[in-house]
Amino acid sequence: MTVGWIGTGKVRAREDGEAVEIVIDGLTTQAKYYKPLVYEFMRKEWASRPSWGDHVVEIRMEHVGEPPWMDLDNLAKALLDSIKGYLFHDDSQVARLLVERREGERERITIRSYPRRA
């Protein structure tokens, strides 16, 4: 069951079955910019409790034109730090992590997290 979007600013999120999807509009080359932005959204607007067990996290950065000069590993670390304690208790629970950059229709970052099934 898909629940409507929460949030009206640069960050919004929704639950889609067991998965949580977070969308961040816009891009910057500073990965550290995203940690407080997403953390504040989760702290103020996200009501669900974190869960235990292994999780899959997929992070997709979409850009228009030339890709921004950003290390994807730094982006992933900032985003994982911002959602831990809200979607899962600790980032050691991330059993599978996919981080990709690709051309899209607009500049944004999408995070999708869900429990890993055996």
The residue ranges of every structural domain in the chain are 9-113
Chain centroid offset of residue 32 CA:
14
pTM of the model: 0.91
Q: How many residues does the chain have?
A: 118
**pLDDT by residue (tens digit) across 6-62?**
998 899 999 999 999 999 999 888 888 999 999 999 999 998 889 999 999 999 999
pLDDT greater than 80 at residue 2: no
Task: Output the CA–CA distances (angstroms, integers) from residue 65 to 13, 25, 62, in the order listed.
Answer: 26, 16, 10
**pLDDT by residue (tens digit) across 53-94?**
999 999 999 999 887 778 899 999 999 999 999 999 999 999
**Superfamily per CATH, domain 9-113:** Holliday junction resolvase RusA (3.30.1330.70)
